[in-house]
Chain A
Amino acid sequence: MAGRDSEEVGNDVVLGLVVITALAFDFTNGFHDTGNAMATTIATGALRPRIAVALSGVLNLIGAFLSLAVAATIASGLVDTKLVTLTVVAAGLIGAIVWNLLTWFFGIPSSSSQALIGGVIGAMLAAAGAQAVKWHSLVAKVILPAVLAPVIAVLVAVTGTWLLYRISRSLTSGGRNHGFRIGQIGSASMVSLAHGTNDAQKTMGVITLALIANGTLPANATAPFWVILTCALAISLGTYVGGWRVIRTLGKGLVKIESPQGMASQSSSAAVILLSASFGYALSTTHVATGSIIGAGLGKKGTEVRWNVAGRTVSAWALTLPAAGIVGAAAYGLASAIGGSAGVIVDLLILVAVSAVIYARSRASKVNHTNVNDEWTEVVTPAEPQPIAAA
Chain B
Amino acid sequence: MSLINLSALWKIVVFGLLAGAGLPAIFAVGLLSLSRGPKTRTAGADSEAVVGGSLAGMIIAAVCFLVILAAIGWGIYEVYRIGHPAPAK
CB pair A263–B27 under 8 Å, yes or no, is: yes
Per-position binary interface string of chain B over residues 2-43, scored 1 when its CB falls under 8 Å from any chain A CB and 0 otherwise: 111100110111011111110111011101101100000010
Within 8 A of B (CB), among A136-181: 136, 139-140, 144, 148, 152, 155-157, 159-160, 163-164, 167-168, 170-172, 174-180
Query: A272 is contacted by which of B1, B12, B79 (Cβ under 8 Å)?
Result: B12
B86 CB within 8 Å of chain A:
no
CB pair A163–B28 under 8 Å, yes or no, is: yes
A370 CB within 8 Å of chain B:
no
A187: chain B residues within 8 A (beta carbon): 24
CB pair A152–B82 under 8 Å, yes or no, is: no
CB pair B83–A183 under 8 Å, yes or no, is: no
CB pair B82–A178 under 8 Å, yes or no, is: no
CB < 8 Å A-B pair total? 139
CB pair A279–B12 under 8 Å, yes or no, is: yes
A179 and B50 in contact, given A156-B17, A278-B79 (Cβ under 8 angstroms): yes
A67 and B28 in contact, given A178-B47, A178-B48 (Cβ under 8 angstroms): no
Per-position binary interface string of chain A over residues 165-206, scored 1 when its CB falls under 8 Å from any chain B CB and 0 otherwise: 001101110111111100100110010010001000000000
A276: chain B residues within 8 A (beta carbon): 12
Query: A152 is contacted by which of B13, B28, B76 (Cβ under 8 Å)?
Result: B13
A275 and B32 in contact, given A164-B24, A183-B27, A187-B24 (Cβ under 8 angstroms): no
Within 8 A of B (CB), among A236-265: 260, 263-264
Q: Which residue of A lies closest to B84 (CB)?
A: A68
CB pair B21–A159 under 8 Å, yes or no, is: yes
Interface residues on B, range: 35 or more
Q: With both chains docked as a complex, state the minimum distance between the C-beta of B87 and any C-beta of chain A, in angstroms.
A: 9
A–B pairs, 10, beta carbons within 8 Å: A68-B83, A167-B32, A178-B47, A179-B31, A187-B24, A268-B16, A269-B20, A270-B20, A272-B12, A272-B20
Q: With both chains docked as a complex, state the minimum distance between the C-beta of A181 and any C-beta of chain B, in angstroms.
A: 10
Bound CA span A186–B71, Å: 13
A156: chain B residues within 8 A (beta carbon): 16-17, 20-21
A125 CB within 8 Å of chain B:
no
Bound CA span A186–B21, Å: 14
B28: chain A residues within 8 A (beta carbon): 163-164, 167-168, 180, 260
Which A residues fall within an 8 A CB radius of B? 66-69, 136, 139-140, 144, 148, 152, 155-157, 159-160, 163-164, 167-168, 170-172, 174-180, 183, 186-187, 190, 193, 197, 260, 263-264, 267-272, 274-279, 281
Which B residues fall within an 8 A CB radius of A? 1-5, 8-9, 11-13, 15-21, 23-25, 27-29, 31-32, 34-35, 42, 47-50, 68, 72, 75-76, 78-80, 82-85
B11: chain A residues within 8 A (beta carbon): 275, 279
B32: chain A residues within 8 A (beta carbon): 167-168, 170-171
CB pair A271–B15 under 8 Å, yes or no, is: yes
CB pair B16–A152 under 8 Å, yes or no, is: yes
CB pair A197–B79 under 8 Å, yes or no, is: yes
Bound CA span A179–B76, Å: 24
CB pair A66–B20 under 8 Å, yes or no, is: no
CB pair A167–B25 under 8 Å, yes or no, is: yes
Q: Which residue of B lies closest to A276 (CB)?
A: B12
Q: 18 more A-B contacts (CB under 8 A) besides A167-B32, A175-B50, A271-B23? A: A67-B80, A67-B82, A140-B1, A148-B9, A152-B16, A155-B17, A156-B21, A167-B28, A177-B48, A179-B31, A179-B50, A268-B21, A269-B20, A271-B15, A274-B75, A275-B15, A275-B19, A279-B12
